[in-house]
Amino acid sequence: MKLFISIMMMVMMFATLSVNMGCSSAEANLPPLTEKSIYDFSMKSIDGKDVKMEEYKGKVLLLVNVASQCGYTPQYEGLQKVYTKYQDKGFVVLGFPANNFGGQEPGSNEEIKTFCSTKYNVTFPIFSKISVKGSDKHPFYRFLTEKATNPDSAAEVAWNFNKFLVDKNGKVVAKYDSGVAPESAELTSAIEKVLQ
């Protein structure tokens, strides 16, 4: 009986640790990440071309998981405006389509690209569709959301259009929920501060 209680206590401690670290039990079984920086990753563009994240060294980044059929989809317009306003100062928005929430990004990469360019005139980089949550979470988003690799602002992606602000050295300095509009004073003042 004592052995059973000890085992149950260990299981509960592990479950609590997993929750506190921002990972589900499925994610807890994933192998540890070997990347030390966001610049160690290579991602696929919306056209399927390899893009090394190190190409963005020295730039301030806003990483956003996007979707075409979400109540927050009109934020594409705000993201484009913020990108246009600050791009000459070394700022880039990077969009990562994901179908993790409510099936709100069901399209193919080609459909997503067409939607972004025709509906919202998006000119900032959009990448191939990935998973940003769950057991198939892309390693890049694991890096952004896990305490081990991002101790200061690690947090699970809660919905479409969550935003990670990254400084010129590749450090995540803040995470913003979907409800924080790209053009809000909260976000633009943070962008301006990191651009200094």
Report the candidate in 182, 189, 185, 194 with the shortest Cα–Cα distance to residue 81: 182
Yes or no: say if 168 and 194 are a contact pair by the CB < 8 Å rule.
yes
Is residue 70 flagged as an active site residue? Answer: yes
Say which of 21, 33, 70, 180 is annotated catalytic. 70
Residue 82 in contact with residue 194, Cβ under 8 Å?
A: no
Q: How many residues does the chain have?
A: 196
CB atoms within 10 A of CB 95: 24
Which residues are marked as active site? Answer: 70
